[in-house]
Chains A and B, each alone.
Chain A
Amino acid sequence: MGHAKPNFWNTYVFSIDHKMIAKQYLITGLLMAAMGGFFAYVFRMQLAFPGEAVPFFGVVEPGSYNSLITLHGSIMIFWVGMPLLLGGFGNYLIPLMIGADDMAFPKLNAMSYWTYLASIVVLIISFIVPDGPASGGWTFYPPLSANPDYTGVGAGINLWIIAVALEFFSVLMGGVNYLTTVCNMRVKGLSFMRLPMMIWMQLIAAILFMFSVGPLLAGSIMMLLDRTAGTSFFLPAGGGDPLLFQHLFWFFGHPEVYVLLLPALGVVMEVLPVHARKPLFGYKLLLWAFVAAGALSFVVWAHHQFISGMDPRMVMPFAALTLIISVPFAVCMFALIATLFKGNISLTTPMLFTLGMVAEFLIGGITGVIVGASAGDIYYHDTYYIIAHFHYTMVPITIFAMLSGVYHWYPKMWGRMYNETLGKLHFWLSAISFNFIFIPLFQVGQMGHHRRIPDPTEYEFLVSTMPYHKIATYALIVLLLAQFLFIFNFFWSMFKGKKVESNNPWQATTLEWQCPSPPVAHGNFVEIPTVHRGPYEYSTPERTEDFYPQWEKS
């Protein structure tokens, strides 16, 4: 293989080792999460204390309010969710869980990280150009977005579009790499039906992304042309169709939710069996449920457009399909609960975050049924009810499941254990404060607060929402402060945490626990494993130990 002599630059910066690239994704993604969190803090302060100067920011003008919500949304989804759940966990776990020494294309892998980083650079440049950063919402509907005169923002939006497109290319390169790696580099004995669920989730997510993003990539170039060259693809003034962009966006946008959700559920499905000492309930059932959900996700997109001028005859089919798509996830929820049933549950930090994820996501799913039906949606559209609903899906996905994974694989990644007490404190503070943010916002939404109104006191009927806004903002501050526990735990334990003696501290069954902690740089395994059974053999009666690793010969 012939690697150059290891030095600082090729070990930590220009590495092509999948584990280092995963760590780069992880740390960069967490930094971006801090940025997205800060923006949320600023606009929540504005909502709770309208017009007052926000500490560490200043007075929020209506224009900058629009920018803050736009950037918060796009950063959390494109620059936090995808890089952490796909870039971070995908890169780290795919080769380790299938027994490979690296990705199929290590240089392509590095290139996808560097493209991600380049997209961040472009995004940050967009903050400082004249006329300010992107505004107009993360969904970016024309005509507002397609004509610079309507938002008053010029280069900021153009750069934002370029940054998003770069990030998409990065994920695309990653997806091609993941799919090829899993198809061609599984160790002997590891058939597809013995793959850990995490790997399946990464595969399905990659496929969903690759098949849904194409039209939007074309659409984003058309949007750029509208803004810069004067075409009118999306501008009705020149004969264009603004609804066309909404179709392109949501044809991508709905599968995109599952691109994030599936790897998050992958974490959940790895953590639950290990910490409950039970086999995952219904491996094949779950797999087909996710395949079905993935396929259905391409035909539900118009439920985002019920009130934007759709043919009424199309409303019914899309509402019905949307309700049908909740069936596979109901199946998933039951399977997860069945996995816990009569398990030997230990409430470690990763397990707490996983249980938290399942519980919160359930609320997100149920409120999704209410707005998935067109009758409910027409009232709740664009209110804080929607905000609360999708935060009950997206926060469990990108924050709770992600943190669960970070804790669960922490001993493998760094060879040291995180601090359990700090971890548990981190969980309880995060989970409680999270609910205190968004339960009040359901109420705010029912009272009719539209998501783009920066100052509720300007409308008489919204004045009564103020107490709820205040609770939500205080809770957000607690949530953000609680993350300092995590940051401290993460970096302190990296150097000072208890050294992990065993390769397999959780007594788990999947292949990543066979190699040393941390795995060997460039090569992973000391002893190349072969696979003899499925991934979730816990508490099998014929053995004295309560786990039966995939690599152990019978």
Chain B
Amino acid sequence: MSTMTREETEALIAEVLEVYPDKAKKDRTKHLAANDVSVEQSKKCITSNRKSLPGVMTIRGCAYAGSKGVVWGPIKDMIHISHGPVGCGQYSRAGRRNYYVGTTGVDTFGTMNFTSDFQEKDIVFGGDKKLAKLIEEIEQLFPLHKGISVQSECPIGLIGDDIESVSKKASAAIEKPVIPVRCEGFRGVSQSLGHHIANDAIRDWVLDKRDGVTADSTPYDVAIIGDYNIGGDAWATRILLEEMGLRVVAQWSGDGTIAEMMNTPKVKLNLLHCYRSMNYISRHMEEKYGIPYLEYNFFGPTKIIESCRKIAAFFDDTVKEKTEAMIAHYQPMMDAIVAKYKPRLQGKKVMLYVGGLRPRHVIGAYEDLGMEVIGTGYEFAHNDDYDRTIKEMGDATLLYDDVTGFELEEFVKRLKPDMVGSGIKEKYIFQKMGIPLRQMHSWDYSGPYHGYDGFAIFARDMDIALSNPTFKNLVPPWKKVEAEDVKKAA
């Protein structure tokens, strides 16, 4: 399906890497590959989850970003303290578009930034007293919060503050959970370790708190794991699951609450969307509570139908019937969308570079629109993510792990995709190069993209980006005249 042969792709990689010093070239070569669909083990063709090379532009985040920004942050009825200097929290505040319902500042706190604002004296004398005082103040000012998590920034680990003991004492005093999370930014090579640390903190401090308490349950209870409700994604997902006859008990963690998390061990099946950030807790629940987990994909009708059937297979016939009825109900709507947009988008080429699940999950949605993904890569994936990606991508397409700013720019220049799907850091670089870009982290202020409703928006957004007349007017008029003169003269 791909337009490039394996040799061409490999030559391209070699050419782009030419400018690096030998050592850097050797290291980076391992992270770039031409996809080989016959390989079962990605590690044979691509290396991942390694420290980024000093001196190149990487766009990875830190463990704190993985824990506070991704996993804990969206839990709306808790207050997440960015413990340390003010910057880490303030510059990432409310940037992820995890939608939620509630009154911010009263019973929900998603878009607010709480920080202990470390100063020199806190570094020198330790910040434990400050943290204790901060928790006291929170309790006074925001009495309706349901718990606090202490998200450590780099200095906390460096100066060796004992946030665990402060949390324990404070928790006893305010009679609410106070959870210390050791997610200092310097841990690990990317935000990925932050996800793991955050999952472990949930396992140790939250998950078993209602063990032994009986809650009313049905045989159809499920939890949505690893959906952060970007632009309303989890809601679009929830609608479908409910139409299938399932009862969604918990949303992790987009628009989620701590009570939902505590109730999750009672569900029958965990539905895992973002494998990278929440497989840890799913594995734990599978072992401890015997709850199986299932990876699914709600991008684009093909994958939605596939996933819904897979989910329904876990349940009895009523669910299976309802699922088929639902699929049939939405089919005309999907056909109409495809009929409208496919002719406009057919054959367009896309390159992706995103985070945890989208580099492989959205491929199906693009293909539903007749578009082709010619290159994809992750910021912080592990080998198991690439195992899963290899099968989704065409043979000999380009794979790049933790791609550097330079490499991505060069790849785009050579491959000339019609569109790039990446983040805000790439957006303006590529748009200035004349290539439309959709942010695939935050859905570019749009969304949701999950589910049937999401696909309609996805298709429209891709069309908007590609048909934007701006990109035909990148050459200023005075230069255009010249170009036409040259043409005439020729």
- To the question of whether A and B form a pair in one complex, the answer is no
Interface residues of A, Cβ cutoff 8 Å to B: none
